[in-house]
Copies of this chain bind each other. A is one copy, B any other.
Amino acid sequence: MSNHRDFQRMRLALTQARRALQLGEVPIGCIIFSENGEVLARSGNRCNELINSTRHAELEALQVSRLLLGDAFHSEIQKAELFVTCEPCIMCAGALLTVGIKRVVFGCRNDRFGGCGSVLELNDGSCGLPEGGKPFDCIGGILEEESVALLRQFYEGPNPNAPRPKKKNRNNKQTSLEPSFAAEIS
């Protein structure tokens, strides 16, 4: 279930997504909060900067948290909440299961490769669990219109790194404002 605090926190993730956009990245932002509400990490997609299509905002945020928390990383991350403007892909959802994060809140769906309900539902552990991993609570659709609007700005903009938008298929199940944009994201 979402609450007022989720919306406040997703706004901060959207700020990170806007920064990613300014840097020529697919505008996805992420922020991790500790159990006490401290910010453990702020990040954005860095695939273009690092020439590495696996450097998604969630993996960057986990890495930043690890650097901040040191030896306490695994114990603290298991009490933490991650906010990301687009549904974690299968790779990222696998990573979040592996570290055992407590809760994930996302904006728009990732119809192409979403690992938290759109393609696979890894979060509840029904697809399998890594050693030491835990299922995590997950909710989507928080500020999804704002998340999609940013993606639209990227895919319709002049950025030379932007892949060509896919043709929309109106027969597909669609819940977000412009889910075809979400579908572009790995």
Q: How far is the CA of A150 from the CA of B174 in the complex (A)?
A: 47
Contact segment of A6-14, A32-40, A69-77, A138-146: A69-77
Q: How many copies does the complex hold?
A: 2
Q: Mark A87-122, 1 if CB is under 8 A from B, else 0.
A: 001111111011100000000000011110001101
Residues of B within 8 A of A73 (CB): 51-52
Residues of B within 8 A of A113 (CB): 94, 97-98, 128-131, 133
Residues of B within 8 A of A120 (CB): 120, 127-128
Residues of B within 8 A of A176 (CB): none
Please determine whether A90 and B99 come into contact, CB atoms closer than 8 angstroms: no
Please determine whether A54 and B59 come into contact, CB atoms closer than 8 angstroms: yes
Name the contact of A131 in the complex, choosing from B90, B131, B186 (C-beta under 8 A).
B186
A50 at interface (Cβ–Cβ under 8 A)?
yes
Residues of B within 8 A of A153 (CB): none
Q: A91-B95, A95-B54, A95-B91 are in contact. Are A119 and B127 (CB under 8 A)?
A: yes
A51, A91, A93, A113: most-surrounded residue (chain B CB, <10 A): A91
In the complex, what's the smallest C-beta–C-beta distance from A87 to chain B, in angstroms? 12
